[in-house]
Structure formats: C-alpha cells, structure tokens
Structure 1
C-alpha cells in the first residue's frame, strides 16, 4: 500500500524516540459560534488525539513518529502534510485506495440565544468516521516493514482507547501491541473516553487494555463516566498493573500514583482559557516528554500542566511552548511560586521567572485547527 514519504523536520535523521498509533481526521471548523444550521461556511483543518500528542512531543524536542492509515484523497494528503509540518515522522502511514479519511465537524457554542446553541465555552464534535481508512488498522501492521522498524526502535509507544472503539481489527491491533512487550520500551495508554464511539460497541474491552500498559493516563471525569469512579486511589486499585497511573482532575490538579503506593499531586496553573478543547493531549505530551527525559515525578506533572496551559491559551491545536529558561524556572519553582504563576494569551508571569520574561502566545501558526478527536 502506498505511503507518504514526507519526514518531519524535528531532528533530521534522528530515529523516533516515541511512536503514537491511532486515527486522525479532517476537521471542518465553523466560521462562527452557534448551532450548525446557522453556519455559513467551514474551514478545513485536521485533528486527532494521537497525532496531536505526536506533534506536541516533537515540539518538546522528542523525535516522534505517528502511525496510522488515511484515504487516498485530499483530506488524507492535507492531514499528512500538516502532521509532518509539525516535525512528526509520517513515513509509516499507509494510504488506503479504497477507504476514505475520517471526518468530523466541530460545533462551537456562542451567545446567539438560539435554543440549540451550546452556550459560551462549550463545543461538540460530530463524527463521520465509520468505514474510514484508519478503522482498517489491524495486527497486520506489525508485519509492515516501515511500521515494524519504527516500533522496534521506540522507547515510548503511545496508544489510546479511541482506537479500540473503531473496529474489531483496531481492537485486535491494540491487544497485539500491548502483548508485544520489549525491554526498554514504555507503553502509555490514554483512556480518551468518547461515549459516542461506544454506542454500538462493548466498553468492557477497555479495562484489560488499560491494565496492560506501563503508564496509564485518565481524566477523573471520564473515568467516572466509564468506570463509575474518578477517585485516584480507587482507580489505582482498579488498575494494579501499570507502574504509574496518572489521574487528571480537570483544572484543579493531577495525581500520579505508583505501584508501591507513592502518590504525588501537583495543582494546575492558573490559566486564562481561550479554547478548552485538547488540553488533555497537550498534558499527555508534556508528561511523556518529562518521562523520556528522566525528570522526577513532580517535574513531569508540571511539564504536563505547562504544556496544557499553553494549549488552553491558544486558539488552535499547536500552541507555542515557552523557551528553555522559562520551562526550567517553572519546573524548579517553589510551591508558592508555582501557585502564583499565571498563564494568559499575552504570556506567562510569576515570581519564579526572570524579570521581563514571558511567553507570548503564537497566534500566527495554522492555529484555527481542532485538537480533540
């Protein structure tokens, strides 16, 4: 099956340290807030949890590849070009001549007063992905030379629960990847609960997948919906196998719980939110980048928080990250300094930062794209 030969620009020639596997889609973004029936036109973009994490990892300086399937169509070509432009290796993405690239529309709430308006700060995704090229991902991927080479050399493999909901073949692929344990490779798994994907599938397949990972990422709210509890200690008991279970409590805090009972909780930064969608992918990338670098648990959580905060203050899917001096200062800040830090679209301010240092939000990138899948 033909492949895109574009290689992302992050660290040219460096073999990927991380590999993310899963579907991404074309996205139609409305030209105005309000119910879809009031929208006059849409902008074309791309989105997807695993490719978003891949792009954010590359932005953190971690050489990363994304493996998936797209249709042999304009949407697929757009998707490959944009993911590659973020510095991600897309050399093992298969182009399917028979199945289309998945598509979703984003509905953004506003203040129109229409009874179908979702309201300010709220959004809804409308999927058109059944029978997509990515839904044909299967264990056959493991025999593909390009994909096998990337997987063999990866120190980090990132997966999500979205893939399990796409098809029986996709579920079988996740099971095969989780069963293929390799020394020196960490497997992370983000629940990424999407209720609409499970309407005609059995979510009971999820717990064994989550428990087979080395690192498990859960949102407290999504875990409450999927498993009946969002309590970090209870989730740690539910999933005893992963070395670390990370539970994100929305804008409040994140807790990392180890197998030995050690727990580290780090509060979220104060953020002036511009667009709430996609902070979970950004957090995952920051946390995983910290893990790859060997940071201690508190600094991993802080890097995740910082990455998420930058995403929350940008209108698109790839926010500009602070420079190394700002990151270092925030990771080393005292609890009081961390608590006094504020992230806005204009920059980052706080007592731990050198005088005059702030991180301006990048509003010039292709930034009207969706981050969630």
Structure 2
C-alpha cells in the first residue's frame, strides 16, 4: 500500500533551538560518569526530523555555534532528511548542550545554554533572505515556548512572527519549562499562543502554566480561534477546534524506555496529518503512533512505524486501536 504521507510536496519550517545531548550511563551519578553517549536534541529540531521521516519536506531554521557541535547538529539533521540552508553560524557564541542523568527509567536534564548562538536570535533574524524564502513557501511553521524562554530577543522574534501577516499555519507547542521562565513575565508566550493556529499543550504543564488542564477552559483563555490539542500523558489526547468540536483518542499502550522527545514526536505526527488533511481522529492517532515509536527507544527521536503499519492502525476500529500494544 503506498504511503499517502510520502511525497506530498507539503513544506514545514521549524524555528528554534537545537542542542548536543550527552547521556551518561543509566544509574550512574553525573560525577561518576566516565564517558557519555552523544546525540542531537532540541524540541523544534526533533519535530523537524519527525516531519521529514513522515515524508514532509521540512526546513529547520536557527542559529548554531560555528564549532564542532554545531557541525554535528547540521550533519545529524541533514542525515534525517531535514533541510538546513536557513541556519546561521555564529563565530563567537557556542552551540548549546545538555546532559542527561538517568535513574530507574527517569531522567534529569542539566542544561548549558546561557549565551548560546540560538539565544541570540532576534526579530531581525526573520529578515534574512534565507529565512524569508523558507517562510514564504511554508504551509506550516512550528515553534515552542522553549524558544520564547531562552532570551528576550528570541521571544521578541516569535512575537513578530506570530503577529505578522502570513499564509502558513502557525503551530506552537507550549513546552513549559518553569526554570527557564524564573523571574520572567510569561506574557510574551501568551501572545504567541493566542496568535497560533495550532496549539499543543500537555495537561500537566497546562495546570502549572494556566492553572487549568480543562480543554474548554484552556481554549477560551487562548481566544477560541485555534485548534487546541491537549495531551494527557499516557492516557488520551483531546482536540478542540475553533467551532468547539471535540475529538478524543486514547493513547497506545507502550512499554516505555525513555519519555523524552515523545511530545515532539506527537507534534510531528499531528502536523503531518494536518498537512495531509486527515480526519481529526486520524491526526491524533498519527500523533500517538509517532510518540509511541520514540517512547520505545532511549533516544529523543526514532524512525516512525512502517507505512503499512501506520495505515492499518489509522484505519483500525476503536476496539483494535485500544488493543494495540507497542
């Protein structure tokens, strides 16, 4: 069966930070780790890779240090089919990194991103011809609250992106990180969320950020014009559309290896389904499927299930879907 998500000609642009991830030996305290496994992480670049893996022509736009870590990010994303011609290299600021410390299947992240090249993004970054070209041809542009939090200038950039006239679908994943917002006013993030066409929020983070995880209350606080996706961890995902129509799909049962990156994978699946104009139930199912593939591996990203598996499960009955285990 041909994969309807492949060769669609759809174009997505992801704007945001990428980092080098250094993972220590599971069960070993950071001070006792002798060697680290290196890979590439970051919310927006994870989504970019996920979209590309689903056959969506995708560009990732950002700034990196003109250093070995930056070159590894570019090489990694290109290897995953992501176009990176809109990336700007900074000779003075470094590529950010984070260290993952894991115990009993749970991970703690240590971030080293202050003064990074990505944090120097500002509204003028959007004026670069390479960025304008990509935004001008985009059908969907995706970013997250993490980029709004890494610096005041990056927040200003996203505000300008959200408030400018555009033809693309603007997608924003809340990705609320309280540590990044310490002593900062989150109002710039609220402005970006209220201007978005698609908003993705985890129920747990919504409760902290907005004081509620009720989809209807959240939708109202966001102005009611967006397509709101509320993900309730391993339980369910709910969509509220601008007209108020509600769609809910339970998550798959997964033998979880590592949860980091699953939210980004869900976003990639949902957006790929949106670009394909799938029914809302199938968009949510595709989000769950791409998230499940990441949950089942120790990395922040994973290859999606084979097209025939995806198509079978997208078309499955509710009973067959509920009985599926990964």
Q: TM-score range by the shorter chain?
A: over 0.9
The structure 2 residue matched to 1:49, chosen from 43, 47, 50, is: 43
Equivalent in the alignment of 2:161? 177
| TM-score, with length taken from structure 2 | 0.95
The structure 2 residue matched to 1:146, chosen from 100, 107, 130, is: 130
Equivalent in the alignment of 2:59? 65
CA RMSD of the aligned region, Å?
1.5
Separation in structure 1 between the aligned mates of residue 126 and residue 189 of structure 2, nearest angstrom: 21
The structure 1 residue matched to 2:80, chosen from 67, 70, 86, is: 86
1:312 and 2:295 are equivalent in the alignment: yes
1:329 and 2:312 are equivalent in the alignment: yes
The structure 1 residue matched to 2:14, chosen from 16, 20, 25, is: 20
Render the CA deviation track for 1:102-140: whole Å, top value 9, x for unaligned: 11111111xxxxxxxxxx121111111111000011111
The structure 1 residue matched to 2:172, chosen from 189, 196, 199, is: 189
The structure 2 residue matched to 1:302, chosen from 285, 288, 301, is: 285
The structure 1 residue matched to 2:113, chosen from 111, 117, 129, is: 129
Q: 1:103 to 1:209 in 2, by over 3 A?
A: same
Residue segments in structure 1 that go unaligned for 5+ positions in a row:
1-9, 110-119, 344-373
Deviates more, 1:322-331 or 1:132-141: 322-331
Separation in structure 2 between the aligned mates of residue 141 and residue 235 of structure 1, nearest angstrom: 31
Equivalent in the alignment of 2:3? none
Residue 141 of structure 1 and its aligned partner are, at CA, apart by: 1.7
Equivalent in the alignment of 1:168? 152
Q: Aligned to 2:180, what secondary structure does the other structure show?
A: helix
Q: Is the 8 A contact 2:29 2:101 kept in 1?
A: yes
Separation in structure 1 between the aligned mates of residue 264 and residue 20 of structure 2, nearest angstrom: 17
Separation in structure 1 between the aligned mates of residue 227 and residue 172 of structure 2, nearest angstrom: 11
| TM-score, with length taken from structure 1 | 0.83
Count of matched residue positions in the alignment of Structure 1 and Structure 2: 321
Residue 241 of structure 1 and its aligned partner are, at CA, apart by: 4.2
Q: Is the 8 A contact 1:189 1:216 kept in 2?
A: yes
* Equivalent runs, 1:283-298 vs 2, <5 Å: 283-298=266-281
Larger Cα Rg: Structure 1 or Structure 2? 1
Q: Is the 8 A contact 2:20 2:98 kept in 1?
A: yes
Residue 196 of structure 1 and its aligned partner are, at CA, apart by: 1.3
Separation in structure 1 between the aligned mates of residue 69 and residue 302 of structure 2, nearest angstrom: 23
Equivalent in the alignment of 2:228? 245
Deviates more, 1:262-271 or 1:324-333: 324-333
Equivalent in the alignment of 2:93? 99
